[in-house]
Amino acid sequence: MATQPVGFFTDTTLCIGCKACEVACKEWNGLPNNPLEFRGSYDNTGQLDHANWRHVRFVEQAGTSQDKPIAWSMMSDVCKHCANASCLEVCPTDAIVRTEFDTVFIQQDVCNGCRDCISACPYGVIGFNSNTGTAQKCTFCYDRLQNHLKPACATACPTQSIKFGPLDEMRQTAAARLDTLHQQGVSQARIYGDKEYGGLHALFLLTDKPEAYKLPSTESAVLPSRNNIPGYLTATVTAVVAAVAGLIAFRRRGEAQP
Amino acid sequence: MPGEHFVVPPHWEWYILLYFFLAGISGGAFVIGTMLRLWGSPADAAASRLAFIVSFPLLLLCPILLTIDLGQPTRFWHMLVDVGSGTPVFKAYSPMSLGVWGLTLFGLFSFVMFLAAVGEGGYLRWRVLAGAGRLMGSALGKVFMVIGAIFGFFVAAYTGVLLAVSNQPVWSDTWTLGGLFLASGLSGAVATILLFSRGRRDAAVTDGKLMEADRYFIILELVLIALFLITLGGVVSKVLGGGWIILWLVVLIGTLVPLIAEWRPTMRRQLPPVVVPVLVLVGVLALRAVIIFSAQA
């Protein structure tokens, strides 16, 4: 495989919630088990974090009839490897880099655990590992990519809900699947990830608005750096006003010059 | 406009709170020391020296707190040097990167002015300090102070911008935090100088001017608090709801009581002298606490 931009396309209409992707990810990457606790849902993973780089989200929605009071949508969530990545933007150590596959990777030997990337990630993907003292997230199976292998999650997915390939190819696959679903009358189907953050490397086919899957809408998908200029500008204006206040308060009042 | 957030908090807690508190006071004290030296009378020189002497020790605690808070404290230097190439790491659009450099450079200015203030005050009779002390009154010294004060303003303010340049609720929904932390840091710096000037007749002659300045800083802080709450829109319930209102009451007491007391000498004289500065400092700490913790709750 040539080193070209790669991507996932996760088709939520094909996901059956088996969590094979989660297990494969944990096995390949040596991630620890989750504590055995009941969360009141089949979604006992909870969220993406340092130990869960794939998370099958169980989205409970109102059903269509009394026989089916609840309808589930499953979505295997993952780091989006954004083209304009918030985490990479704020990282002060340059521990977060873009790889030759155009994915976003945290160098574990460089990260010093400041957690600025966690505050910046709009998807809540990155977790802090208190054992290693570093931030961790999906590596897109960087080691497998370097050895011409598919990421573990895409390899394990039994329904091909998770597809992997060159990013352009994934975009075409997503667009074709969207057309098919629209022709079948699933009018609410939509692609998430073709516009957000300059284009995501993890595209999703959704059957509801993004917020239902805990994804920010296109309008809300904004970079942290948007607040740089307004923040510093307000501070500068405050500094000028404070300096004037100091001048008024501290000025000599008819006293002798030094 | 505040948007929906689907994020996890970075768990910046007590060390960061203390760092934000001390950085505000240290940067603010340097700025006040400079303003007193530039615009004050000869009688204000002692208070100016006190401001510089207060600034540096407080600043020394800052990198310690920041380093302890890291997951890998021994890699603190990765903030400054690229591990691979050995070249400096500097990202202007990352407030944390900018802040680390700002803090380092401010440390240089703060250290030199600390030595100069100690030398001028004759607190230690070392020849090298006497030389440094002459810097205080010279034109070169004033240029040095002004440049240092710019870094002082930055260190007191950038922590607010650091919070805003994120995707966390509350922090990223407002543009006011840099200014707000600066105004409250200046007020806290005045309170700290007032506390240390107690019992020092030479520095206490400036107390009246410092209190007048504090009134302006508190008014500025109250305006920015109002703007902060307004700009949050629907997210405002996250900072005002639940038990957070108690911290806001502490903030209000730490601003309004000193404001009134510093305006009304009759009321001030009825209070023990340490009450007003202590209330200000508790308010400065509470303001940062409510902003840091409520957003991550």
Task: Tell me what pLDDT residue B60 has.
Answer: 97
Tokens of A42: 């089949």
Alpha carbon B181 to chain centroid, angstroms: 7
**Which candidate, B277, B172, B173, places its Cα nearest to that of B217?**
B277
**To probe the interface with B, which of A94, A126, A192, A244 has the most B CB atoms within 10 Å?**
A94
B166/A225 CB distance under 8 A: no
Q: Within a domain: residue A243?
A: no
Chain B's closest residue to A129, CA to CA, is: B71
pLDDT higher at A198 or A69: A198
Interface of A with B in 75-134 (CB under 8 A): 86, 89-95, 109-116, 118-124, 126-130, 132-134
Q: Is residue A203 part of a domain?
A: yes
Nearest to A245 among B78, B161, B217 (CB): B217
Q: Which of A20, A79, A75, A82 is nearest to A53 (CA)?
A: A79
Burial environment of residue A114 by CB neighbours within 10 A (0 to 12, 13 to 18, 19 or more): buried
Q: How many other C-beta atoms are found inside a 10 Å radius of the C-beta of residue B186?
A: 35
Residue A100 one-letter amino acid: E
A168: in domain: yes
Residue range(s) defining the domain that contains residue A73: 6-224
Do B82 and A94 lie within an 8 Å CB cutoff? yes
The whole model's pTM is what? 0.94
Alpha helices in chain B (DSSP H): 14-39, 45-69, 95-121, 127-137, 139-164, 177-197, 201-204, 207-231, 236-240, 244-263, 265-270, 275-296
Alpha-carbon distance A219 to A115, whole Å? 25
Query: How many whole angstroms separate alpha carbon A128 and alpha carbon A49?
Result: 7
Q: What is the ipTM of this complex?
A: 0.95
Q: Which residue has the higher pLDDT, B283 or A258?
A: B283
Stretches where chain B sits below pLDDT 70 are: 1-3
User: Which of B42, B167, B179 shows the shortest C-beta gap to A237?
Assistant: B179
Separation between Cα atoms, residue B57 and residue B107, nearest integer Å: 10
Smallest Cα distance from A87 to chain B, Å: 9
Nearest chain B residue to A130, by CA = B71
Please name the member of B39, B95, B183 whose beta carbon is closest to the beta carbon of A251: B39
- A1 or B11, higher pLDDT: B11
Instruction: Judge whether A252 lies within some domain.
Output: no
Is A244 a member of any domain?
Answer: no
Sign of CA dihedral B36, B42, B44, B46: positive
What is the pLDDT at residue B203?
A: 82
Q: What is the structure's pLDDT at B271?
A: 85
- Look at residue A258 and tell me whether its pLDDT is greater than 50: no
Cα A75 to Cα A52: distance, rounded to the nearest angstrom:
14
Q: Where are the alpha helices (DSSP H) in chain A?
A: 20-29, 86-90, 116-120, 142-146, 152-156, 167-183, 228-250
CA distance to partner chain B, nearest, from residue A151 (Å): 25
pLDDT band at A3 (very low <50, low <70, confident <90, very high): confident
Angle between helices B14-39 and B177-197 (to 10 degrees): 70
Partner-chain contact A248 B40, CB within 8 Å: no
Taking the C-alpha atoms of residue B17 and residue B23, their distance in angstroms, rounded to an integer, is 10
Within a domain: A18: yes
In this structure, is residue A233 part of a structural domain? no
Collapsing DSSP to helix, strand or coil, B262 comes out as helix
| Per-residue confidence (pLDDT) for residue B2, from 0 to 100 | 53
For residue A253, pLDDT over 90 is answered with: no
Q: Residue A179 and residue A185: Cα distance in Å, rounded?
A: 10
Nearest CB neighbour to A225, from listed B70, B82, B165: B165
Report whether A27 contacts A122 (CB < 8 A).
no
CATH T-level topology, domain B14-296 = Formate dehydrogenase/DMSO reductase fold (1.20.1630)
Please report, in angstroms and rounded to a whole number, the separation of the first and last CA atoms in chain B: 21
pLDDT at A173 over 90: yes
Average pLDDT taken over every residue of chain B: 94
Question: Which among B70, B78, B167 is the top mutation candidate for probing chain A, defined by the most A β-carbons within 10 Å of its own β-carbon?
Answer: B167
Q: Does residue A242 lie within any of the structural domains?
A: no
Whichever domain contains A114, its CATH number is 3.30.70.20
d(CA B190, CA A184): 70
Count the domains in chain A.
Answer: 1
Interface contact A248, partner B, CB < 8 A: yes
